[in-house]
Amino acid sequence: MNYTILKPQAEGPVMLLTISRPPALNALNSLFFSEMDSFISSVQDDKTIRALIITGEGKAFVAGADIAEMVNMSPDEGRAFSATGQAVFNRLSSLPFPVIAAINGFALGGGMELAMACDFRIASSNAKFGQPEVNLGLIPGYAGTQRLPRLTNLADALYLLTTGEVIDAATALQMRLVQKVTEPEALLDEARRLANLIATKGPMAVKLVKQVTRKGIEMNYSVAEMLEQQHFGDPFENEGAEGMKAFLEKRKPVWE
């Protein structure tokens, strides 16, 4: 695969994907979305991948969408650009394995929306977060208005969305936008540790946990309970049977 912005690197059961457009602070453009869509297609059925880490090259995770590409768009072209970004980020969220954002610097606008499309986020202590679209007279286009209040709360989401204020990693952690903050030099090591920890768990169980949790949060609680109940029995004849036998026999399970 020949990517010009995305650099995928397989590390055993973990895939590391680096966004590499440092002169533009890794800003998202049409080429990025095309490459990301192709990358997702190439990995979505790969059963050797147990977790994906996404990070940025240089001093930014992603500093936003490419304003130079957007400035002359018509309203309809803007809507199409939004639809493209939303579709790609939804595909990313739907991957069968966990996706971890390792946020090494600026995660602004579309960059924060990319991070929110991942399953969880860890950040360098020097990372910065924000949805500054209102500063340009715009609104988020890649589901920022929808994911942010679901990850934090309505008040914190509206605070960030209407002020355009940029917050630091400690504040993002307090808002539950990120799950962990590390020193800059430790960020990728910690992301790899978490990804490899996930890789030791039952792959079918991890896939089901992600699927049931993501679907269930959008459902009525009692309906979501039934969804969990329905899938609880799925692993019993294979992976779950091996995991329970291994526990009783005091050995490590052998996953298929």
**CATH fold for domain 203-248:** Lyase 2-enoyl-coa Hydratase; Chain  A, domain 2 (1.10.12)
What is the CA angle 154-212-141, rounded to 5?
Answer: 40
Which residues are CB-neighbours of 156 under 8 A, at least 6 positions away? Answer: 148, 149, 175
237 catalytically annotated: no
- Residue tagged active-site, from 113, 225, 242, 256: 113
Among the listed residues 7, 35, 22, the one whose alpha carbon sits nearest the alpha carbon of residue 91? 35
The CATH number of the structural domain formed by 6-199 is 3.90.226.10
pLDDT value of position 3: 61
pLDDT value of position 4: 74
Domain ranges of the chain: 6-199, 203-248
The tokens describing 69, both together, are: 């590409």
pLDDT value of position 1: 45
Low-confidence spans in the chain with pLDDT less than 50: 1
95 vs 52: CA distance, rounded Å: 9
77 catalytically annotated: no
pLDDT value of position 206: 97
Give the model confidence (pLDDT) of 105-138 as tens digits. Answer: 999 999 999 999 999 999 999 999 999 999 999 9
Give the model confidence (pLDDT) of 215-243 as tens digits. Answer: 999 999 999 999 999 999 999 999 999 99
- Residue tagged active-site, from 11, 35, 77, 133: 133
Count of residues making up the chain: 256
CB count in 10 Å sphere of residue 193: 12
